[in-house]
Structure formats: structure tokens, C-alpha cells
Structure 1
Amino acid sequence: MSIETARVIWSEGLFLRPHHFQQQERYLESLLDARVQPLQAASYGFTRFVVDQALLLQGKLALQSASGLMPDGTPFDVPSPQVLLNPLDVPEGTRDALVYLTVGVRRTGAKVVALEPSERRTRYVGLDTQVHDHVLGFDGEADLKVGGLVMGLSLAEHLDGSLSAMPVARIVERRADSGVVLDSRFIPPMLHVNAHQRLRTWVDELHGLVRQRAEALSARIATPGTKGVADFADFLLLMACNRYEPLLHHWRMGPQVHPLKVYAELLKLAGECATFAQESRRPPSFEPYAHERLADTFEPVIEEIRRAMAAVLEQNAVQIALRDLGKGLFGADIPDPHLIRQGYFVLAAAAQAPKEQLRGTLPTQVKIGPPEKIRDLVMTMVPGVRIEPIEAPRQIPYHANYTYFQLDPRSEFWSPIELSRRLALYVAGDLPGLDLQMWAIRQ
């Protein structure tokens, strides 16, 4: 803090001059800035922002409605009688140019106020107004001169060190018919995500994507006959979706959330999504937050989350329903041809017999083949598709009383099963309490 912003020492017998009050104002303003600015990074931007579309057709750029904080901490609200802001006449031939909202900075020894409204070279100009006495029992009005904040709209090439500036828009071009075309992708610095349509649309879109994926995962996990089968990745992704869906809904419904906070949370979501969507299981490298380049900051993260939410997560294990046709005969339809070509099949069996006995006898009692060949297999000594005992696969539910067998696809009878996507299974003999399940496991 400089001596120009030091506090006034008030003492008895002081000969008051305007300088004392001006110094007190400088002290209080600097004290407020020193206390507030460290509390939030990127603590400037718009809280309301609307461009006058009609004036764009006339070659002018104006703010129809806007409020917020300038980079030096100056609050503003337009339209307002306390703020003087004229439209910018966009010069002919202007292309790819940034437009800034400006206000004069406080400089040591510089004049801050001009008493005449026509003088706009200072930070404030004098405005005449009448104010009421707010004390009960006292009436009347007094004429006062108050300060009107002088703001401006300027192209980047006209900026200098005397101005505090904040980007407002990017001009694509001024057309031959004088119409001004703005870059719809550009987002000025914002203090709230809901203050800009594009940021608000992104939050709405992500909420919808996360909600849709959560519902799909929940339905798949809860599908009858597959309880406990869903891949562990399904549970992890559902957990991430369930964590971020309420947060995204919270942002949508109106709290004043800074874009920096939203960006930090979306980085977490994108990082979690990379676990499931990226081959490397690692997130890509994202740029640091840039308050004056919000579109460049948010777009890569938004796109990564979109891609992850749109990715198809396949179940590693699918139960194949066995239809009991009676007399030891079962039939099954295989819904997905990829299961046959890119996976292996497991038969789970339980019976009122020791597991070791089942491991040894069931392969000799079971005949598996295409439905049109099963009768011939039963009537002859041909084994059909063989089954071999294996340990319980981790992809399917484990039950202590079940024994697991893998179907051997090297059999000559496997090709007809692959073509028709149908198989038949016959169990010879009597196994009390026999229960069979069949699973297809992707590799």
C-alpha cells in the first residue's frame, strides 16, 4: 500500500479540506480491495450480459444490459444513470478484433473527477441530482453533485496503461452493409456460469448425459438374472455418475457458481471418465483455467466427457437362458454373435452330490451340440462339444455349491452353433437337485 492510500488521522482542531475526505475514500477503497481480492481467483467478470442485437446491424456494438466487476474491482451496472457508456462505432474493415469494456484506473497524482459531464477523460464526471433527507421529521431536498462512472468500449489496439479493460466480444467482421458479425463461440469473463447462455447450455447438456448414462447403468445392473454379474467398471462409473448428477443439477438451478469452480469439478469428472473410456486408462492433458478464454478452457473438457458418456460399455458376462424341454433336454439361444466369436462359454452346475464327484462325472453325462444334431449325439457315442472343469470365473457370480465347466470350441459341432446361434444340451442319468446355468464371457 502506498502513502496515497494511507488512512487519515482525525484529531481535534483539524482544519477540514476536501483532501481529507478524498484521502479517506482512497483508504477505504484500497482496504476493501486488499481484503476482497485474495478471496477468489479470477474475481472479475460479468454477472449479467446482453448485447444489443439491433445496433449490430447499424455497425455499432453496445451492451443492452450488463453488470459485474472490472479487473480493478470496480462494480458496474448498465443501463444506469450512474454509468456513462456509449456504443462503439466499429470501423470499416474491422476483422478478427477483440472489443474491451474499459474504465480509467486510479493513478497516483492523476485527476479522478471532472465536474462537467462533457469531460470524459477522467474516471468520474459530475452529475447533478437531488437527494431527500432520510431522517424522520426533516423534509426537503438538497442539490448534490455525484460521480458518474465513465466507461467505454474499445478495440484492443486502442488500449493503454490508463485503462482497466475486460474483453466483451470478438468481432469476426464488419460487412459491406455495415452489419457487425460477432464470434458466437467467444465467452467473456463471467462470475457465474448461469450468466452466459453457452455455459448454461453446457451444464444442462452434461446433466442430461450423466443422468442418461446413470439410468442405463442402473437398469443393466438391476436386470433380473444378472445380479452380481455387472462388471466392476459398471459400478464405478455408476458411482461417478451418481456423484456428479446432483452437483450438475445444483449448478443448473440457480446458485451463483464461479466458472473456475465448475471447471475444477469437470476436470475431476473427465479424469474419472478416462478410467473407462481411454485405452490408456489415463486422462488427456488439459489446459490451465484461463478466465478470459473460457471457450478454449471448457471445450476440451466438455468434449472428453461427451465422448466418455457416449461410449458403449459392454458387459463382460452375459447369462444365456437355458429352457428346460423335459427329459434332461435343454435349449438355448445366443443373442449376440460376438459372444461366440470373441468369448468363451461356461456351464455352472450344482446337484445334491459332492463337488468332486460332479467334476468327474458331469463331462461324461452331458452332450452339447446344435439342436438339429442333439438326437444323433444322444443315440451315439460321439461326445459333441466337450466341457472341461475350471475354477470359478471372476466375471460371474460365485456360489460355493456350484462347479464350473468351460465349453471347448474346437469341436466340429461348434461351427453349426456359431452359425445358428442356438445350442442344445442333454444330461444323461439322474442327478438329484441338478441346477444348470450357462454364461458367455467376453475376452
Structure 2
Amino acid sequence: MSLWNSKKKQRPGMADNQNKVIWYEGMLLQPHHFQQQDRYWQSQVNSGRLLHQYAWGFTRLTFDLAQLKMGVIALTECAGLLPDGSWFDISAPDMLLPALRVRMDMVGMPVVLALPMSGRHRLESHEAPTEQTLVRYRTAEAQVADRVTPDGETIAMQLGELNLRLAPGPQVHDSHYFLAVTRVLELRPDGRVVLDEEHIPPVLNYRCSPRLAGWVDDFLGRLRLRQHELQALNALPGVEGAAGVSRFLFLQSVNRAAAIWAHFSAQDGMHPEVLFRELLALAGEWAAFMSENRRQTLLPHYAHHNLAQTFTSLFGGLQHTLSCAVRPNVIALPLERREFGIYYAQLADTALIHSARLILAARAQMPAGELLRDLPVRLKVGASERIRDMVNLQLPGLSVTPLQTLPHELPYFDGYQYFELGADERLQDADGLALHVAGEFPQGELALWAFTGSE
């Protein structure tokens, strides 16, 4: 068998290819073989990124706040995957990452963590690479122990550290793989650097970004609040039919979302694209509960390199929908008749009194004109805890005004006359509403609604 001539010229276009080395007995080993095998395995590792389009970003990122006061951006902790699949962890004690001195021309620019692309320089590694030396590795000597042989020795070995550096984004855009770390917002006269707090770096774990984590926790809190509110509304007698069904279906959707987001909030390694998918599904689902003019029509696309833009409008739109969807515009307030001709209505939501119109329907065995004329004078309306004093001491109550036009959302009953009650600050913090009709009210019946207006 003839020996393979490892110095044979390669065919054009085959330099730095990623094919596997063929090992066979008797071959003359040279550094080229091991370098080529490294390229092959690196290509195999990188091919795994095809399984997930967004498998790059930070898993940990912490700034040195003391250095910012001196005009320097430095990282105390930083780990993650670059877009080419290279793993880095500068929190390791032997990992070196130079700090970046901020200049005035960097204001408004993104600051990135950059690594030279493969093939940008003839060499893969250099002992003292400069910004112009585009090598991927920095050659460093390290003591490496034999961890297999019981009495194995420790030897000095040349190792390649990733040649990472912090740089302004435009400076390395075409020559490096990079991750946007932050954006310089301001360089103050005293030299202090102010970073853009609204910037969200590309992350593999949403908890790595305090802003993104805050959004998730806030959204979960809003879901739970609306969940309790809808459950309370469903427990009270109100407008039935389509409005009640819509409210129940929305509660079902909110219950599902609250359970899922409670799970997301408890996770430490959730990719932000998973959050985006669930938010997008909620936006589409909840659109059915909003009127066309209030619906969120333009939904963002997922941009892993710009998570702030991706999530800002989506979270904002969903928070608006969550608070506005299926708000009942007519809520029945059941009246309970007690002794001395006093009617009581419990207020589950005291804020309702200040945001809604109170509509009263009345019927009695008397002419309609007489009822319209006399009831506003004989009816005393106020907070339930003050009604007895109002009646006994002849204190003024809420105004009672006959309605000329009934809102079409309110149910119309033949033989009833309709009035509007003028709510004011006297009902603030009231637990309930009380009504008292003075004098004769033969076979009298009353019904009360809170009307918030049309969607």
C-alpha cells in the first residue's frame, strides 16, 4: 500500500473545506490532518443549529456598573452561543474579554460582542491578535493534567481561546459574528456612560433580560386579576344570552392563558420565541372578542435580533385587549326588598358607580304620568349605610330624572317607566345602594341596571 502524499496540492476550491479526514494505517500525520478533523467536527456541531432557527443568544449577561461610571463598558459575566454556533463563557477565570472605552461618536450605536468569521485570516490563531488581525483564536499556554492515568503528569499545552471583543456594531458588521449587548444612550460630561434600558439583547433564556422577565411577570399578574374579575361577573346575575356566553368563553381563554404563563414564569430556561408563539396565539384568539375598530390588526413578526420591537407592541396590544374585551355594557343590579319599603342593591365593583349610568325601571298600579311625575320626588336613593338617616332626617339623595330615550342595549318592559339616577361622590366606597319610596307604592316593582355604554 502506498503512502498518501499529504503535501499533494489540493484541487481549486477545496481549501478549508469541512469534509471528514480518512484515517488509514501507515499515513503520515501532519498538523493539517488534525486541523481538518477539527473543521469537520465543528461543521457537524454547527449543523445542529438547523433544528432551531434562533439557537443563538445570551444565557447570562451582567455589566460592571462601576466601570460605566468611568466611561467604560465591561462585562462581569457573559455566556451564550454566537450565530455560528460557537459557545462562550467569559465568567470562566481563564477567559479574557477586553473592556470598551466609549467615545462620543459611539452614542446611539449598538455595542456588540464580536468574534472574527472563519477564513478572514490565513491563520486560525495568534499569540497577540490585534483588532486588525482577524483570527478566531488567541493562543495561550495552559497546564493540562492527565485525568486518565493514575500517575499522569501535567504538561504545558498551547490552547486557543476565542478572540472575543466588545466593539461598536458598524465596525465589525461585515467581518465578525456578533451579538448585540447594549446600546449607548448617552456619554455625560463627567465621563459616565448611560446605556439604553429599553434594549433587549438576543437571549436563549428570557430571564436573562430583566425587561423581558418583567413583562412576563406583569402579564401573568394581569391575567390573574382579569381571571378573578370575570369569575366574579359570571357569579352575579346580569345580562344573559350572547353577552353571557361571550364572557364565559373569554374567561375560559384567560384561565388557559393564566395556567400556561404561570408555567412560563416559573421556568429558568425558556426561549423567547416560545413566549412569542403563545402571545401570537392569544392575540388571534382574543381578536374575536373585540369590535373591529378596537382590534389589534398589525401583529409583529418575530425578530430574534430585535426583541424589544418584537415584544413591545405585542404585550401592549394584549394588555389593552385583556382589559377591554367582553366588558359588559349592561349589568343588572338585583334589588332586594326589605322592611320599611327599602330596596338594597349590592355593588360588587364600586368603581362601576363612577363610570356607568344607573338606570331604574319602575312600575306600579297608578297612571304612567303620575308615576313619572311623583316618583322623582318620593324616591330617596343613597349609600345603603346612610339610607335610614337620609329618610329620617330628610337629607337629599341622588337625583332621579325621567328618561326620554332608553338606550337600545337595555331591556324594555311594557308598563315600566325609566329613570336615570345621578351618582356622585356620596357613593364613594359604598358597599351597596339603597332606595326608599315614600308613601303609597301599590304593587310597586323596581329594576336597576348599570349601563357603561356601547363598545
TM bucket normalised to smaller: 0.7 to 0.9
1:422–1:259: structure 2 CA closer, same or farther, 3 Å change rule?
A: same
User: Does 2:102 align with 1:102?
Assistant: no
> Is 1:128 the counterpart of 2:144 in the alignment?
no
Q: Aligned AA for 1:427?
A: Q
Work out whether 1:314 is the aligned partner of 2:331.
no
Give the corresponding residue for 1:17: 30
Corresponding pairs, count: 388
Distance 1:192 1:407 in 2: 65
Is the 2:120–2:175 Cα contact (8 Å) retained in structure 1? no
> Residues of 2 paired with 1:100 and 1:340: CA distance?
53
Is the aligned partner of 1:63 residue 2:75?
Answer: yes
> Could you say what secondary structure the match of 1:218 adopts?
helix
**Contact preservation (8 Å) 1:96, 1:173:** yes
Structure 1 length as normaliser, TM-score? 0.75
Alpha-carbon distance change, 228 to 340 in structure 1, aligned in 2, over 3 angstroms: closer
- Residue 427 (structure 1) aligned with residue 443 (structure 2): yes
- Residue deviations 1:260-291 (CA, integer Å, cap 9, x gap): 11112112223334444555363320221111
Amino acid in structure 2 at the alignment position of 1:316: V
Distance between the aligned counterparts of 2:189 and 2:342, measured in 1?
79
Q: Which residue of 1 aligns with 2:66?
A: 54
CA distance in 2, matches of 1:145, 1:341: 81
The equivalences for 1:192-207 within 5 A come to 192-207=205-220
Instruction: Quote how far apart the aligned CAs of 1:249 are.
Output: 1.5
Structure 1 position 91 matched with structure 2 position 103: yes
Match for 2:277: what amino acid? Answer: A
Percent of aligned pairs sharing the same letter: 28
Matches of residues 135-154 of structure 1 in structure 2 within 5 Å?
A: 135-154=148-167
| Aligned twin of 2:92 | 80
2: CA distance between counterparts of 1:101 and 1:302? 28
Q: 1:99 to 1:90 in 2, by over 3 A?
A: same
Distance of 2:283 and 2:359 partners within structure 1 = 30
Matched, 1:209 2:225: no
**Is residue 169 from structure 1 mapped to residue 189 from structure 2 by the alignment?**
no
Query: 1: CA distance between counterparts of 2:95 and 2:249?
Result: 53
Distance 2:345 2:61 in 1: 60
Contact 1:368–1:423 (Cα < 8 Å) also in 2: no
In structure 2, distance between residues paired with 1:271 and 1:304: 11
* Distance change (3 Å), C-alpha of 1:320 and 1:406: farther
- Give the secondary structure class of the aligned counterpart of 1:243: helix
What TM-score, normalized to structure 2? Answer: 0.73
Distance 1:337 1:99, change over 3 A: closer
- The aligned amino acid for 2:101 is D
1:112 maps onto 2:128 in alignment: no
C-alpha distance in structure 1 between counterparts of 2:213 and 2:355, whole Å: 42
AA at the equivalent of 1:61: I
- Write the letter of the residue equivalent to 2:262: H
CA distance in structure 2 between the aligned counterparts of 1:43 and 1:6, rounded to whole angstroms: 24
- Mapped to 2, the partners of 1:137 and 1:341 lie a distance apart of 86
CA gap of 1:341–1:163, structure 2 versus 1, over 3 A, is closer
Q: Does 2:20 correspond to 1:7? A: yes
**Following the alignment from structure 1 to structure 2, what is the Cα–Cα distance between the partners of residues 373 and 139?**
104
Runs (5+) with no aligned partner, structure 2: 1-12, 380-401, 403-407, 424-433
Partner secondary structure for residue 108 of structure 2: strand
Letter in 2 for 1:175: R
1:345, 1:441 within 8 Å by CA — same for their partners in 2? no
Contact 1:61–1:89 (8 Å) recurs in 2: yes
Q: Which of 32, 53, 56 in structure 2 is aligned with 1:41?
A: 53
| TM-align CA RMSD | 3.8
1:320 aligned counterpart, secondary structure: coil
Compared with structure 1, are the counterparts of its residues 136 and 333 closer, same or farther at alpha carbon in structure 2 (3 Å cutoff)?
A: closer
Q: Shift of residue 244 of structure 1? A: 1.1
2:232 alignment partner in structure 1:
219
Q: Which runs of 5+ in 1 are unaligned?
A: 348-361, 375-384, 386-392, 397-403, 429-435
